[in-house]
Amino acid sequence: AHLDRAGKEVPEESQKVLPNVTTSKTEQTVWGDIPALLYQAPILAMGVPLGSIRIGYSMAAVERERRIFYVATGGLLAITFVLMLVVLNKALAVTVSRPITALKDAMQRIEVEGPGEIISAGHRDEIGDLIAAFNRMSGQLRAMFDTVQREVSERKEAEETARRLRNYLANIINSMPSVLVGVDKRCCVTQWNAAAEGATGISAEEAEGQPLEWLLPMLGDLAEGVRQAMLARTVKTDAKVPRNVDGETRYNDITIYPLMGDEVEGAVIRVDDVTE
């Protein structure tokens, strides 16, 4: 008898007569107009074939179970993939995101507070190497920053000392009753004290950088005497040099002091009124 999957006998008109088989085999065929997987095997008794057994399995059921298997397998793979993504995200957060965030925060603090920020590494990989390089760079920047600050502080102190010294010397020069004039190697004025302002009516700001002979023409060819003193590097003194002031003859002692420094060329001229 031919039975279907429910155990019911297949109608005669749906039965397909198959020849006896001598060996076991499996093949796809049509079983009562239904695509089926057919298993056939001989029935032997004492080596004598008595007949055969045939078992048919609907291919629709096979396909349905195959689809169920594929769906279940795909779902399992999807769940596994999602779990792997979650684990990978956690791992990346620990090994990459957090250290990078720490580096970013450290750089922001450096912008506000200055260099010197040190980050704990805690890694023995490329991220750890990056953090170690950042710490070295931060330390070097801190050292450079401290050096620059120290140099700036020292420069400010030196500038303040120089300013006080200039003011002190200017007070001394301006307190002297003699006319004191400083000139460079071209005989242009670099220093003009208060007595020179009073004697000529020309302010120090107006006199600075001007040729000496323009400012003191009443003293004759004073510039030539200055050049001779600078060339000879000796003090040059002219006593009682006469000059006419409003029809009156007055006498001046003129002393020229050449500057002796290797890097400074010029002279200081002192003029004293010695009229009796």
Task: Give residue-wise pLDDT tens across range 142-179.
Answer: 788 888 888 999 999 999 999 999 889 889 888 989 99
What residues does 44 pair with on adjacent strands? 49
pTM: 0.47
- Confidence band, pLDDT 50/70/90 cuts, at residue 217: confident
Task: Give residue-wise pLDDT tens across range 21-57.
Answer: 677 888 877 766 777 777 788 887 777 777 777 777 7
Classify 233 in phi/psi space as left (phi over 0), alpha (psi -120 to 50) or beta: left
What residues does 39 pair with on adjacent strands? 26, 55
Taking CA atoms, 62 is separated from 6, 75, 241, in Å, by: 15, 20, 136
Task: Give residue-wise pLDDT tens across range 233-260.
Answer: 899 988 988 887 778 888 889 999 998 7
What are the chain's domains?
12-64 (no CATH), 177-273 (3.30.450.20)
Task: Give residue-wise pLDDT tens across range 87-102.
Answer: 887 776 666 666 677 7
Least confident stretch, 69-78, 85-94, 113-122, 251-260: 113-122
Q: How high is the pLDDT of residue 13?
A: 44
Taking CA atoms, 276 is separated from 237, 247, 249, in Å, by: 19, 16, 11
